[in-house]
Structure 1
Amino acid sequence: MRLSSLLLSTLILIIACSPDDETPDNPGGLTGEAATPTYDESLIPEPQPLNNLISNGDFESDEAWFTCGGAQVGATDQGQSLIINTTQECSEAGGITFTVNAVAAQEIELTAVPELLTVSFLVRAEGAIPSLDFNVFLTNAPNGTYGFGTNAYFLGAPSQEEGGAGGWNRINFLVTRQDINTWLDAPSPLFVVFEAQDFTATSSTTIYIDDVIVTEGVIRLTQPSPMPDALQNYAGNSRLIFYDLSPEEKLVATMLPNGTDRVIFNQVDATIVDGSPQWFDDNQFVLSQKVFNPEAPSDATVVPGGGSDVTRYNSIDGSQEVVYITRGEPGVFNFSGAVDNRAALDVEVRRTAWDVDRNRGILNVCGRNRSPEFGLNSDDICWLYLFDTNTNEVLNDEVYGFAPKWSSSGKLAYYYDNQLFVAEVSGSAITPQVVYQRSGLLQALDWSPDESTLVFAEVVSSSGIINSEDVVIYAIKTLDIATGQTELLLQADHGDLLPNLSWSPDGDFIIYSMNTEQGAQIWWLEVATGTTGPITNTTNGYAVTWRK
């Protein structure tokens, strides 16, 4: 369901207003309450070994692998990797009707077929991968028959997009016991096979494979490490701001990067908020709090419209100021299918961002039609509005976008429609350029301190389905803006990654939020090593941002 024309016209009208008499009197008394540290190193578990059911998955030698044709083990930027091209033909892959140019296979060490099997590997490509010309499958009859048929279960055909677009990408395939028993002649022996067919259109294509892992259950590559000294003793006065979930209610809190000097602001209502709390300057933070119109409807048929109060809080003198408001329009719901039902209009500030000089901000305003009837909500449409912090006025016409972040020199980076944008901002003009595009992007990103790189996250390819539920795993990566080169930092398979990434002022760490078995937690990621671990393992928290 699309947004109605009513929404579009109302949105322009609503966000053009200023708070004026809706700004409350200074309540004073905004004080922080000291709390216990959020991190305890003794709670970091010992690393658990990963049971890989194949040998030599890192290809440091060619032992254990059967290779044929244009498949060979050789040197790459990962050390030794499997290299696949179509310069030769695999004469041993007989019994099929098409040419096979390269095959690499190894038997999986199974005593019984497990309930679930994961096949995981890193892949990178030079050149385009024609559709279905590079295949990964399981078979129990590898000798002489590597092609499709009753003896093979097709896992997937990684595309150019999945092939690493300039960098390594991890692909996971999940296979159930039922699939293996249904599609293969016998459950054992079982082989994993990488196969390249005739790259006739692009003979220059080369595919690199590394770190092949076959294991029972859903793979868990990432394990927590103790917090490094560089974060334990982080230089400078930077603090983190986040939502603290340890009390009975959600509250705004700040802490040092190592989890000490934790301060909770009990007077700030963060019960219903949009996005993350954002630093405005060293002493002030901004919160977008959800409101409804009407706040308490007297008629049960009225569906309140959602809006926002964007409020700036001063942690030193206790003052607060509503710097911007949006108000939605109420709808009507009599009964399901009634002709005079009308969807409510939500107009909400989902994100805010403030430039280094604190003279400009970005209000990320999203609108949608919302109905109590199931399935009748519209998709969100989101705009970026340039905001003058001195006059509290909007400066530009709307630009489609979400999750904006300022660079230190005044550029904008943001997400929209599975694309990452970088934009020049001059006066009231925002001039964007697409720097990365791929399906499955997480709606979060941030700048490196030197502005050369973005951190972002995208879905690990072919994550799979278990018990009719999607298994979605994200990879945290960096993007070199000038070259388009991506680098895989971390497969975030130790929980459900939340749309929250923030790069440290010194460039050495990225912090992120995720839902884990212990609840919502904030984790650090060391850029140079790819190691990671929790900042909050004695409490729960999320939506974290560095003070820069």
Structure 2
Amino acid sequence: MVSIIRRIVFLVCVFGFAGGVVIASPPPQSPMNTSNLIQDGGFEQEGEGWEACGNVALVDAQADGAEFVYSGRYAAVMGVEADGSNCPQLPDFTTPKQILSQQVSIPGNATAVTVSFWFRAAAGTTVDVFLANSFYQFDPGLIGVKLGTFPTDQPPGWQLYRTVLQGERLERVRGRTLRFAIVIQGGTSVGPDTVLLIDDVQVIAADGRTAASPLPPALRGDGSRPLAVIRVEGQNRWLYRMDTDGANAQLIYRGLLSNVRYPAWSHDGQRIAVVDNNTWPWPTPDPDPQNNLSASAITVINADGGDARQVYQTQSRKGSRCPFIPGPGNPTETPSLILRISSVHWLPDNNRIALTQTGFGVFCDGRLAQGGTSDILSVTPPSPVASSLAQYAARPSINRSGQVLFDGFDLSSSRSNRADGIWELTPGAQQPENRLLANSADRQPVWAPDGRRFAVVRLTTSPSADVSERTFAIMLYDRQNLNNPRMILFADHGRSVSSLSWSPDGAYLVYTLERFDGRSDIWWLDVSSGATGPVTTDGQALEAAWRPVSVSRVFLPLVVR
């Protein structure tokens, strides 16, 4: 990032207005008017209406390259050479390193206020965002609100910062003329590599969160039921197939103990592998009930629901007998080892299956032992023996060339030097090389059908570094340009997103959206436009897998296994 910053420093055009220009207050907006209350939010008028101090500058995409703006020609750049010049001293006798600010009047009849901007950042300092009393007063105990704080040490790519003011926070700003302000407090210094790019700033008098779009014609159901979906039915979790519009749902597999998860289509679209959560030993219970531990199996069924067969079974191990009674020669309780499967994925040969096997210890009273394991294994049915692909790893995704993406976890620093993040390896090579592609904010990688792009789930820092307030997003990476991923979904229409699956043509994704009420649905996402909408709406869908090949309409059997 150092070379990029030097280019910015050399080519930027400094705002040069310590005092700045204050624009007239805009007229009141209707509650649902989404007109931007900010003047020159995209900086295309070269900073008209903005005030700044501490060497805030503009970056020109025509000189520096399009990656330094989100849209248009200009973006604001902060962090670079931040020295507090012309910045006011605050009541606590500190001086901010930089301020970018504009006066904004909030309509008195606003039912919500949404504040958003696109940003890209690197290297370490913190950023505060306010609707403040004035250019120099950032105490929300007076007038206004502090919208959030986030670090500039960020993963690559442009990200959306967005927060919606309602309730008490809305009452603090409604009908007032305030200052939208982005502030780098900086402490004693701002690192030489710190950079914060800002573009497309918006303050609107409406709830601007992600909203559902109409279903595209391409996703109208055709009876082929390409989605394999796990649905909750009372206490049961069963496997269904359905169309991409949620229609024609049909139950095809109930599972060993009605607890089925993580469906995965074979590459030829002829079989589905699922995780069958059950007890060990299986299928014959042990006479000692203490030995009947939680475990998982992998079950493979045909696309029509027939010919279900178990191809792998974890073998959990019992620890001390419960209830544990210390005695001579037996002073310390040994926890039971629970081995479960948390994902499955077919290898390109349509025969081998990669799986994530997690292990953890459980004491008699239910306490979890410290530490744990998470490893990616492969199994070749009908052999029940699994071999290792990667340790301290989870959720593999494998393209047709055999490249494996997976989540890496540093579960124990004494045993693993693997950093958290997205990793890549090529199985079968004489010396398999593990490469870290993305940092710990990104999770759950899924290769696109083209074998070059991949999507991940990112935990953003918007609207705050506080994990309880952070929003999930979906990012799209190009393997040949890892420094410029694109955010294709900002998931502030629910609590979280997970379980991504691509359409065969690479134009759409389906994902699981956890709703604010704790239930979950399957949603579709247009990768090119970012439009999104629900496939299911009853809150009972846990995850979905999209058949990787397009097929003609298939009539399924009426008998369910």
- For the aligned pair, the TM-score class normalised by the smaller chain equals 0.7 to 0.9
Which residue in the other structure is 2:106 paired with? Answer: 109
Does residue 202 of structure 1 match 2:215? no
Give the aligned residue type for 2:397: K
Which residue in the other structure is 2:72 paired with? Answer: 79
SS in 1 for 2:481: coil
Does residue 168 of structure 1 match 2:161? no
Which residue in the other structure is 1:255 paired with? Answer: 242
Compared CA separation, residues 65 and 266, structure 1 to 2 (3 A)? same
Which residue in the other structure is 1:503 paired with? Answer: 502
Compared CA separation, residues 531 and 268, structure 1 to 2 (3 A)? same
Alpha-carbon distance in structure 2 between the residues aligned to 1:408 and 1:289: 26
Which residue in the other structure is 1:11 paired with? Answer: none
Query: Which runs of 5 or more residues in structure 1 are unaligned?
Result: 1-47
SS in 2 for 1:420: strand
SS in 2 for 1:193: strand
SS in 1 for 2:218: helix
Whether the aligned pair in 2 keeps the contact of 1:170 and 1:461 (CA below 8 Å) is no
Equivalent of 1:475, from 443, 461, 473? 473
SS in 2 for 1:312: strand
Alpha-carbon distance in structure 2 between the residues aligned to 1:405 and 1:374: 33
Compared CA separation, residues 297 and 254, structure 1 to 2 (3 A)? same
Whether the aligned pair in 2 keeps the contact of 1:84 and 1:196 (CA below 8 Å) is no
Which residue in the other structure is 1:333 paired with? Answer: 322
- Higher relative contact order at CA 8 Å, sep ≥6: structure 1 or structure 2? 1
Give the aligned residue type for 1:123: F
1:454 shift after superposition: 1.2
Which residue in the other structure is 1:33 paired with? Answer: none
Alpha-carbon distance in structure 2 between the residues aligned to 1:539 and 1:101: 46
Does residue 265 of structure 1 match 2:252? yes
Alpha-carbon distance in structure 2 between the residues aligned to 1:95 and 1:316: 71
Compared CA separation, residues 90 and 111, structure 1 to 2 (3 A)? farther
SS in 2 for 1:230: helix
Compared CA separation, residues 433 and 189, structure 1 to 2 (3 A)? same
CA offset digits 1:97-129 (Å, max 9, x no partner) = 647455323335164999x9864432024xx44
Whether the aligned pair in 1 keeps the contact of 2:32 and 2:205 (CA below 8 Å) is no
SS in 1 for 2:434: strand
Query: Which runs of 5 or more residues in structure 2 are unaligned?
Result: 1-30, 61-68, 410-419, 549-561
Does residue 458 of structure 1 match 2:445? no
SS in 2 for 1:104: strand
CA offset digits 1:459-502 (Å, max 9, x no partner) = 12044599xx9234201111222221211101111113343001
Compared CA separation, residues 221 and 81, structure 1 to 2 (3 A)? farther
Which residue in the other structure is 1:7 paired with? Answer: none
Alpha-carbon distance in structure 1 between the residues aligned to 2:348 and 2:535: 26
Alpha-carbon distance in structure 2 between the residues aligned to 1:50 and 1:391: 63
Whether the aligned pair in 2 keeps the contact of 1:396 and 1:429 (CA below 8 Å) is no
Which residue in the other structure is 2:338 paired with? Answer: 346
Which residue in the other structure is 2:528 paired with? Answer: 528
Alpha-carbon distance in structure 1 between the residues aligned to 2:526 and 2:162: 24
Give the aligned residue type for 1:513: T
Whether the aligned pair in 2 keeps the contact of 1:239 and 1:547 (CA below 8 Å) is yes
Alpha-carbon distance in structure 2 between the residues aligned to 1:317 and 1:155: 51
Aligned residues: 483
Q: Sequence identity, in percent?
A: 20
Give the aligned residue type for 1:168: W
Equivalent of 2:434, from 416, 432, 435? 432
Whether the aligned pair in 2 keeps the contact of 1:361 and 1:388 (CA below 8 Å) is yes
Alpha-carbon distance in structure 2 between the residues aligned to 1:411 and 1:122: 32
Which residue in the other structure is 2:423 paired with? Answer: 421
Which residue in the other structure is 1:404 paired with? Answer: 396
1:139 shift after superposition: 2.7
Compared CA separation, residues 288 and 181, structure 1 to 2 (3 A)? closer
Alpha-carbon distance in structure 2 between the residues aligned to 1:336 and 1:206: 59
Whether the aligned pair in 2 keeps the contact of 1:473 and 1:493 (CA below 8 Å) is yes
Give the aligned residue type for 1:546: W
Compared CA separation, residues 178 and 335, structure 1 to 2 (3 A)? farther
Alpha-carbon distance in structure 2 between the residues aligned to 1:477 and 1:336: 52
CA offset digits 1:437-477 (Å, max 9, x no partner) = 133x34x22111222221001112044599xx923420111
Alpha-carbon distance in structure 1 between the residues aligned to 2:273 and 2:246: 21
CA offset digits 1:6-44 (Å, max 9, x no partner) = xxxxxxxxxxxxxxxxxxxxxxxxxxxxxxxxxxxxxxx
Whether the aligned pair in 2 keeps the contact of 1:250 and 1:270 (CA below 8 Å) is no
Does residue 232 of structure 1 match 2:234? no
Alpha-carbon distance in structure 2 between the residues aligned to 1:215 and 1:161: 31
TM-score norm. by structure 1 comes to: 0.74
Alpha-carbon distance in structure 1 between the residues aligned to 2:325 and 2:133: 55
More deviation, 453-462/382-391: 382-391
Give the aligned residue type for 1:254: R
Whether the aligned pair in 2 keeps the contact of 1:131 and 1:157 (CA below 8 Å) is no
Which residue in the other structure is 1:222 paired with? Answer: 210
Correspondence list, 1:370-381, <5 A:
370-371=362-363, 373=365, 375-381=367-373
1:311 shift after superposition: 1.6
Equivalent of 1:140, from 133, 139, 162? 133
Alpha-carbon distance in structure 2 between the residues aligned to 1:504 and 1:188: 48
Give the aligned residue type for 2:295: G
1:269 shift after superposition: 4.4
1:319 shift after superposition: 1.8
Which residue in the other structure is 1:122 paired with? Answer: 118
Equivalent of 2:374, from 382, 385, 389? 382
Alpha-carbon distance in structure 1 between the residues aligned to 2:33 and 2:490: 15
Give the aligned residue type for 2:440: R
Alpha-carbon distance in structure 2 between the residues aligned to 1:521 and 1:160: 33
Give the aligned residue type for 1:401: A
Alpha-carbon distance in structure 2 between the residues aligned to 1:123 and 1:456: 19
CA offset digits 1:491-535 (Å, max 9, x no partner) = 111113343001222110111011226842111110110000111
Compared CA separation, residues 378 and 179, structure 1 to 2 (3 A)? farther
Whether the aligned pair in 2 keeps the contact of 1:503 and 1:509 (CA below 8 Å) is yes
Compared CA separation, residues 294 and 340, structure 1 to 2 (3 A)? farther
CA offset digits 1:395-438 (Å, max 9, x no partner) = 44752211111101111111122310111111687532111013
Which residue in the other structure is 1:35 paired with? Answer: none
Two-structure CA RMSD over aligned residues (Å): 4.3
Compared CA separation, residues 377 and 276, structure 1 to 2 (3 A)? farther
Alpha-carbon distance in structure 1 between the residues aligned to 2:95 and 2:183: 12
Give the aligned residue type for 2:480: A
Whether the aligned pair in 1 keeps the contact of 2:148 and 2:463 (CA below 8 Å) is no
Whether the aligned pair in 1 keeps the contact of 2:50 and 2:100 (CA below 8 Å) is no
Alpha-carbon distance in structure 1 between the residues aligned to 2:292 and 2:341: 16
Correspondence list, 1:60-79, <5 A:
65-67=50-52, 70-71=55-56, 76-79=69-72
CA offset digits 1:250-292 (Å, max 9, x no partner) = 3211123333443321554462234335447433211221222
Alpha-carbon distance in structure 2 between the residues aligned to 1:208 and 1:528: 23
Whether the aligned pair in 2 keeps the contact of 1:303 and 1:333 (CA below 8 Å) is no
Compared CA separation, residues 206 and 131, structure 1 to 2 (3 A)? closer
Correspondence list, 1:255-294, <5 A:
255-269=242-256, 271-279=258-266, 281-293=268-280
Compared CA separation, residues 259 and 323, structure 1 to 2 (3 A)? same
Give the aligned residue type for 2:100: V
Compared CA separation, residues 237 and 317, structure 1 to 2 (3 A)? closer
Whether the aligned pair in 2 keeps the contact of 1:220 and 1:494 (CA below 8 Å) is no
Does residue 55 of structure 1 match 2:38? yes
